[in-house]
Amino acid sequence: MRKLLDLFRNQKLNIKFTFIIVLFIIVPLGILASYLFYVMEKNVIDENVSYMEYTMRRNQEYTVSKIDSINMSTQFFLSDESLADILARSQRNEEITVEEWLEFKNDEVSSLERLVNNNPVLYGVRVYSENNHVQEMMPILYQNERLHKQEWAYNEDYLGWNYDYTDNLFSKYNLNQERKLIGLITFIFNDNNEKIGTIEAAMTMETMFPSIYESIEDEWGFFYSEDGEYYLDENKETPDLAILQEIIARLPAGKEIVTEYYASGNQKLVLSFMPINELDGTLVCVKNIADSVKNVQNIQTVFVLAMGALTVLLAFVINRVVQRLLKQFYEILRSIRKVQKGDLDVVIENCGKDEMGELGNQINKMLRRIKELMEDNLKREMLVKNSEIRALQNQINAHFIYNVLESIKMMAEIEEEYEISDAVTSLGKLLRYSMKWVSGNVRVSEELEYIKNYMALINLRFDYEIYLSLNIPDLILKQEIPKMSLQPIIENAIYHGIEEMAEDSNIYMKGIIEEDECLIEITDMGKGMSEEDVEKLRMKIAGELDSNGGSGNGIGLKNVQDRIHIAFGEKYGIEIASMLGCYTKIIVRIPITHRAKEE
């Protein structure tokens, strides 16, 4: 990735612009196209899922009606007392006369035959006796030997539903054995719960499961029974066994119809499962939508190829347009290269009014300015020499003032004017601290020493005494603070809080440590301020009100606030609290910068 970025950075400007423009066109278009093709494919799947869901609902109604037809026919035969009586008498080997057989045939058998014939969905309903003593009356009543010719009779447990068998009732007279049947086998019992016959109610598999045998392109199905067997149309092309097993493995456990999309390799299938509790199995309908999905993918492939060709053509056109737009830029670049070689007489011609033209004009102005600066270079060298001379004179003046103060101090001590001597000493320290150049912050202890000297000189002016009380922990004394940031607060306390009272007073300085911060509280016992004045002062310090003007305008405190912000950040600064006639408290919040050294 880094190599690609380096390669991109090393390209010409027109290539970069071309790449970025094409990227901003193709990427959103590609994302939109991908989403549209995704929606198209999803719609194809959803439509086929809905279609299969509808088809299976229709199959459910149809299958239930067919099952009901077989069940009702079976119940009708079971409820026929004449039929049960004939079977019971045959079971007991009683003699039945010809007249009785004729009467039974004309009355009961004919009625049962009409019942079967009037139900077109039935293949047939047959009754098998438990012996061979009955008179066979086709197509209803048969002897027991006929039962054993049927395929289902060879099953160990053929009671109930039997699937996909052929009709082998007559060995010579074949009733279309190509037709596969599904039949419900039911036993007939007498009053003593003795088996006296067997009922076979059958219909074709095609009638029961039309969706399996319908010739619809890309659709097929099968019936899967609980004994692990599956039944499908053998006349259709047999589906791949592996796919069949995968579908069987996805059979749902519930009793509701489930329709889902299933993709496996090249197979794109919509599967619909309908559990049939009465038949102890599940009807499965499958629709292969691989062609429909492939059509969407083919359209997507054509779109991608077309977009690729369009991208190449678009990149070529954009590159030519960008080159023409940057023509003036390249002319400016050639001029700058001449300047780099030392030719300052270059002038960029034909500067237009657009951004490139403005750049050319600015470069022309810059070259003229460079020439002017070069001409002024000699003058500056002379000014530098003069500045060095003045700086040396200032050093001489500062030393002269210190020496004069020392002389005055010695004269005062000789005359035993020790109060004047102490005042001169304080003034000397105050001047030395003020005139000393410091590039960074100072320690709190140095700032307090300066304040002490300042207070000593202030008390010379008044007839009353202002006492300075300090309660500062050693850790705070070692912290850094901008130079001359506490003295303006003391000065404000004296001139705006104490001087008008003209009586002895106190200024109390207290240090508090709070986690990684320390607070320096400066409290004067002066006249205080009202809430309105305090709010105005806060707004001036915050820069929300204009602080220019006469005294008491808060400019000193605002300068302290600004310097603390510059040194430590917006989190730190000063806070104000006051009560009219009582006190004014200024709280200076600074970070602890030397805790590690102290520990």
Could you give the angle at the alpha carbon of 233 between the alpha carbons of 149 and 221, nearest 5°?
130
pLDDT of residue 226: 86
Structure-token pair, residue 479: 């912290």
How many C-beta atoms lie closer than 10 Å to residue 317's C-beta? 11
Cite the beta strand spans of 456-566 per DSSP E.
Answer: 466-471, 480-481, 505-514, 517-524
Q: CA torsion, points 85, 87, 92, 97, in degrees to nearest 10?
A: 80
Q: CA torsion, points 214, 215, 221, 224, in degrees to nearest 10?
A: 50
Q: Is the dihedral of CA 306, 308, 311, 315 positive or negative?
A: negative
Residue 326: helix, strand or coil by DSSP?
coil
How many C-beta atoms lie closer than 10 Å to residue 50's C-beta? 12
Answer for the pair 200, 185: CB distance below 8 angstroms, yes or no.
yes
How many C-beta atoms lie closer than 10 Å to residue 282's C-beta? 21
pLDDT of residue 227: 84
- Listing DSSP states for 178-216 in one string gives TS-EEEEEEEEE-TTS-EEEEEEEEEEHHHH-HHHH---
- Listing DSSP states for 71-133 in one string gives HHHHHHHHT-HHHHHHHHHHHTT----HHHHHHHIIIIIHHHHHHHHT-TT--EEEEEESSS-
The listed CATH number (3.30.450, 2.60.40, 1.10.238, 3.30.2320) that belongs to domain 80-208: 3.30.450
Q: Tell me the whole-structure pTM to 2 decimals.
A: 0.52
Which own/partner pairs from 260-266 qualify as long-range (CB within 8 Å, at least 24 positions apart)?
260/49, 261/45, 261/48, 261/49, 266/290
Domain spanning 441-598 has what CATH number? 3.30.565.10
How many C-beta atoms lie closer than 10 Å to residue 473's C-beta? 13
Domain boundaries, the chain: 80-208, 210-293, 441-598
pLDDT of residue 333: 74
Of 268, 227, 373, nearest in space to 49 by CA: 268
Work out the angle between the directed axes of helices 355-414 and 327-340 (0-180°, nearest 10). Answer: 40
Of 518, 514, 520, 521, nearest in space to 583 by CA: 521
Spell out a b/e string for 487-508, using b for 16 or more CB atoms within 10 Å of the CB, else e.
bbbbebbbebbbbeeeeebebb
Q: How far apart are CA 128 and CA 220, in angstroms?
A: 36
Task: Give the length of the chain.
Answer: 599
Q: What is the pLDDT along the chain (599 residues), one digit of tens a residue?
A: 677 666 666 667 777 777 788 888 888 888 888 889 888 888 988 999 999 899 889 888 899 999 999 999 999 999 988 888 888 888 888 888 888 888 888 888 888 888 888 888 899 999 999 988 888 888 899 998 888 888 888 888 888 999 988 888 876 444 455 688 999 999 999 888 889 999 999 999 989 998 888 888 888 889 998 888 888 888 887 778 888 888 888 888 888 888 898 887 778 899 999 999 888 899 999 988 888 888 988 888 898 898 888 888 888 888 888 777 777 777 777 777 777 777 767 777 766 666 667 777 777 777 778 777 777 775 656 554 554 445 444 444 555 555 556 666 676 667 666 667 667 677 766 666 665 555 568 889 988 988 888 888 788 777 888 899 999 999 989 899 988 888 889 888 888 888 888 888 899 999 999 888 999 999 998 888 888 988 888 888 887 777 655 445 577 888 888 888 888 888 899 999 998 888 899 999 999 988 644 44
pLDDT of residue 148: 87
